[in-house]
Structure 1
Amino acid sequence: MLSHQHEIFLEVARLLSFTKAGQALFLSQSAVSKQVKALEEYYKTGLFERLGNSVVLTPAGELLYQKLLLAKQLQHDLHQEFTTLSEDFSPQMRMVIGASTTISLYIIPPVLSAYLSKFPNTQLTLKNRNSENILKALLEHEIDLGIIEGIHKVSNVTYTPLLTDEVVAVCSARNPLHREELVAQDLLHIPVALRESGSGTLAVLEEALATHRIKLTDLPVKVRLGGTEALKNFVRVDTCLAFLPRQAVMKELASGELIEVPVRDLNLVRHFDFVQRKGTENNVPYKSFVQFAQRYYSKQE
């Protein structure tokens, strides 16, 4: 078992912030600082260099961080092996995951429920933001695992596939559009409601339109709304056309509240991917969670 002080040090080193580490661990900043100072006194050297409101690891701090990551991995491996030997053994684990809006609302909840049933001693926090901001949180070490949709690849991030989904054009049942089949060029003359900038759903639409040399700015956009639910609720009472994940509108399509409007020449398939900073793919317990989620959805197919 890693000591409480070492667990606190790992969190500060991961986030490079005493304040954020305290928030993640539900400790005051002074309590975090006190424990780190005790470690520095034990090792007789500084572990962090304070630079205004931010901190960086000293060479000694970097050495300790890398060794503790290895120790954490060994501890996880040991725990996994003990769970096969003893059904009563269930160590406490903590995870902070970030997921884009569609995934948070419709994709990941059943996975979390199944995972927590199998690993009841896991303390799990899910942060819900659009894909662009989840990627930003990952690169800023706020989270170690994200799940995003349809966004341009970043070189220092590892992408692991989860599943594929479709974005569909929908309108309210009272909109005359529901009797038509469209082509991409028709969208230049139809009022649309779109998600906010940074949305994975919007990125998929933008990419598909680009194959027809159409820009988002070419569309008669009536409104932009932050979040899938806000956009869905708006289009239910308005006459705009909207593009939404099929997973998000399955109930409304089944009930007839919303109608799917085929756009014959638009390929609106997008992928949901796990994202991790390169070099952190084996960090625990995130590796086992990724594998669990992949198995969960492979069984649904």
Structure 2
Amino acid sequence: MLSHPHEVFLEVAQRLSFTKAGQALFISQSAVSKQVKALEEHYQTGLFERLGGSVQLTPAGQKLYQKLLQAKQLQQELQQEMSELSPGFAPAVHLLIGASTTISLYVLPPVVAAYLQQHPQHQLSLKNRNSDNILKALLEHEIELGIIEGIHKVSRVTYTPLLTDEVVAVCAASNPLGGRELATADLLSIPLALREVGSGTLAVLEEALAAQGIKLAALPVRVRLGGTEALKNFVRIEATCLAFLPRQAVLKELATGELKEVKIKDLSLFRQFNFIQRKGTENNGPYREFLRFTQRYYSSKE
């Protein structure tokens, strides 16, 4: 088992912040500093460089970080193997999972609730970022399992399908476009509100437009917003803009009439939600179990 000071060091190294590490571990910043100082005294070298309000790993700190990541992986594998050999051995499990905005808000909550009900000894931390940043967090070992939109063609990552989602064009109820069917070319003259660069929702729109010979840069984009909820709230108020949002995110608003769907002829906006894992970690027991649990949960809804 990794010692408590090493666990604290890992958290600081991943976040490059003593404050954020303390918040994640539910301990004070001074307690974090004390544990890191104890390690620096033990190894007789500095592990972090303090640069104003930020910190960076020293060469020694980087070496320790890489070795501890390997040790953490071995520890998880050992716990898994011992659990299989000894049913009475049930260590507490803390899952580190990341998911893009749509998935975090609309896909995972019921799954997580059902999973934790069946596994009361488990804990789960969920990071909510756009797809690009979830992929980055996985590669930097901040999380052990991610769920994102699409495939990013990174050689160090394996992809496992979860479910298919549709992106739809919507507008405020007072917008005269509501309920109409438009040609794809009409988008060149309609004010748009879109997600930020790195969003899976934006990526599926850009790809579909490219298939129609239209570049995203040619569209009259009025605003870009980070996050599905921010974009949804904006388009409900701003009656002149059209927005593209996951159907999962606007089911309620379409049902109540707060938002209206706008059909775009010949524009197919479907994307696959995929689990992502670093190659070599696919058989990590708790994460494999959560992945399969989530797949079963949604296959039963079809």
- Shorter-chain-normalised TM-score: which range? 0.7 to 0.9
Partner of 2:121: 121
How far apart, CA to CA, are the structure 2 residues paired with 1:141 and 1:120?
25
Partner of 1:56: 62
CA deviations over 1:93-142 (Å, ceiling 9, x no partner): 11221111111110000111011101112221111111112122222222
Partner of 2:257: 256
TM-score by length of 2: 0.82
The alignment status of 1:79 with 2:80, answered yes or no, reads no
Residue pair 1:150, 1:201 contacting (<8 A) in 2 also? no
The alignment status of 1:274 with 2:275, answered yes or no, reads yes
Distance 1:234 1:18, change over 3 A: closer
Partner of 1:8: 7
How far apart, CA to CA, are the structure 2 residues paired with 1:16 and 1:173?
43
How far apart, CA to CA, are the structure 1 residues paired with 2:71 and 2:142?
21
How far apart, CA to CA, are the structure 1 residues paired with 2:133 and 2:62?
23
Partner of 1:182: 182
Residue pair 1:18, 1:33 contacting (<8 A) in 2 also? no
Partner of 1:100: 100
Distance 1:81 1:239, change over 3 A: farther
Once the two structures are overlaid, the 10-residue window that deviates more, 12-21 or 102-111, is 12-21
CA deviations over 1:188-247 (Å, ceiling 9, x no partner): 111111111111101110010011121111111121112111111121222211100000
Aligned-CA RMSD value: 3.1
How far apart, CA to CA, are the structure 2 residues paired with 1:48 and 1:145?
33
How far apart, CA to CA, are the structure 2 residues paired with 1:47 and 1:155?
38
From 29, 32, 37, the counterpart of 2:32: 29
| Counterpart secondary structure, 2:62 | strand
Distance 1:199 1:5, change over 3 A: same
Over the matched positions of the two proteins, sequence identity in percent amounts to: 59
How far apart, CA to CA, are the structure 2 residues paired with 1:235 and 1:68?
45
Task: Name the count of aligned residue pairs.
Answer: 288
Residue pair 2:99, 2:129 contacting (<8 A) in 1 also? yes
* Structure 2: stretches of 5+ with no match in the other structure: 50-55
Partner amino acid for 1:134?
A: I
| Counterpart secondary structure, 2:152 | coil
CA shift for structure 1 position 256 = 1.6
Distance 1:122 1:10, change over 3 A: farther
CA shift for structure 1 position 276 = 1.9
Partner amino acid for 1:57?
A: K
Partner amino acid for 2:282?
A: E
Partner amino acid for 2:7?
A: I
CA shift for structure 1 position 173 = 2.2
* Structure 1: stretches of 5+ with no match in the other structure: 41-45
